[in-house]
């Protein structure tokens, strides 16, 4: 659409969220290249990674990048050779934008570890905008069970939580601890419960503890509390390194702690005997494969996942990030196009 412009949020100068690092600008509407589609954005989830990018905890890969990698919209234009979707189809654009396809990780089912990946809303412009272009091979068809607001958080929060759960290798019927209970955790808790795990939530926000109990977890305590029973596995969603030894101490022998976030504050020094001996395992979770994404979307539809979504008008993206930073969002914030007039 040569000459036409759209509104897009960009990370201007990364810094504390209260210093307003995001700016709403007018930009040319992008044209899809070969193998790409253009999506007219209807909703976009707000992920903690967007906050890390805005605040500079995640080093910017490109100046004035538009964040947003939980993008839901309708296919609006097809680039040369794009044939997977039809105009008007509802699709989801997620974090993994492209992988090389030839490195040892891509060729062994581990494209999440690709040596030359690109990510939506970090390397290339994301969905805090009226339009986004994406490589069609990395775009998801979306389950019709979910509306545009509810399905957005599944695209990162859901997928990463799902991969973290798999990486935690919790045994059948096992005891799972979840540290931090925001957008991702409240979704993966439902997968864990559907799989028959005994779920314990540990988080500082009282509203999040109440949500966890409503979803059916066995207990909900403060982040620093010990869970009521030793854990086979734990997931750390809070970006707080001081919780690593806390979670390790809550593990039973042979237990595994999986750290789900892309950014974590420094981990204090560990004591080998107390924190790791007896075959406790500490591991990270890095991005996801497309197979993880499809598995999460199928699982969410099958178990009737409840998405606790908090809608914000597109024009209030900076407010949504501020609320996320200050623990004022219970569940997942979602930007909604065309909502301003209704608010």
* Contacts to Zn ion by CB under 5 A: 47, 49, 99-100, 103, 106, 114, 156
In the complex, least distance from residue 84 CB atom to Zn ion, rounded to whole angstroms: 21
We find the least distance from the C-beta atom of residue 89 to Zn ion, in angstroms, to be 23
Q: Which is nearer to Zn ion, 106 or 259 (CB)?
A: 106
Instruction: Give buried/exposed letters for 269-288 (b at 16+ CB in 10 A, else e).
Output: eeeeeebbeeebbbeebebb
**How many CA atoms lie less than 13 Å away from 71 in the CB half-sphere?**
32
Looking at the Cβ atoms of 120 and 233, the one nearer to Zn ion is: 120
Q: For residues 38 and 98, which CB has a smaller minimum distance to Zn ion in the complex?
A: 98
Q: C-alpha angle with apex 43: 207 to 15, nearest 5 degrees? A: 70
Q: How far is the CB of 251 from Zn ion (least distance, A)?
A: 26
Q: Around Cβ 290, how many Cβ atoms within 10 Å?
A: 17
C-alpha distances in Å from residue 211, one per residue of 30, 164, 241, 254, 325: 40, 20, 24, 30, 19
Nearer Cβ to Zn ion, position 99 or 299? Answer: 99
The span from the CA of 199 to the CA of 10, in Å, is: 38
**Shortest CB 77 distance to Zn ion, Å:** 26
By beta-carbon proximity to Zn ion, the closer residue of 110 and 166 is: 110
Distances (CA, A) of 4 to 1, 30, 178, 234: 6, 9, 46, 49
Q: In angstroms, give the least distance from the CB of 300 to Zn ion.
A: 16
């Amino acid at each position: 659409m040569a000459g036409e412009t759209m509104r897009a949020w960009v990370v201007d100068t990364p810094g504390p969220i209260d210093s307003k690092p995001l700016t709403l600008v007018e930009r040319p509407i992008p044209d899809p290249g070969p193998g790409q589609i253009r999506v007219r954005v209807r909703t976009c989830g707000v992920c903690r990674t967007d906050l890390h990018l805005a605040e500079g905890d995640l080093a910017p890969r490109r100046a004035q990048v538009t964040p947003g990698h939980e993008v839901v919209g309708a296919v609006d234009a097809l680039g040369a050779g794009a044939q997977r979707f039809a105009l008007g189809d509802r699709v989801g654009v997620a974090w993994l934008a492209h992988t090389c396809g030839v490195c040892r990780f891509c060729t062994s089912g581990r494209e999440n570890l690709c040596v030359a990946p690109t990510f939506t809303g970090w390397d290339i412009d994301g969905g805090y905008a009226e339009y986004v272009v994406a490589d069609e091979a990395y775009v998801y068809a979306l389950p019709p069970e979910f509306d545009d607001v509810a399905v957005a958080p599944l695209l990162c929060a859901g997928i990463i939580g799902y991969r973290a759960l798999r990486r935690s290798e919790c045994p059948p019927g096992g005891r799972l601890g979840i540290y931090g209970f925001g957008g991702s955790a409240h979704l993966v808790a439902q997968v864990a419960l559907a799989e028959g795990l005994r779920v314990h939530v540990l988080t500082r926000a009282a509203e999040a503890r109440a949500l966890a109990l409503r979803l059916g977890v066995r207990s909900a305590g403060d982040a620093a509390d010990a869970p009521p029973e030793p854990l086979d596995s734990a997931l750390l969603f809070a970006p707080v390194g001081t919780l690593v030894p806390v979670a390790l101490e809550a593990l039973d022998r042979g237990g595994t702690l999986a750290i789900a976030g892309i950014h974590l504050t420094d981990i204090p020094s560990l004591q080998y005997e107390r924190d790791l001996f007896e075959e406790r395992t500490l591991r990270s979770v890095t991005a996801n494969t497309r197979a993880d994404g499809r598995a999460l979307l199928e699982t969410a539809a099958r178990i009737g996942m409840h998405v606790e979504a908090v809608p914000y008008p597109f024009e209030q993206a900076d407010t949504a990030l501020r609320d996320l930073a200050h623990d004022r969002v219970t569940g997942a914030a979602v930007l909604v196009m065309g909502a301003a007039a209704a608010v």
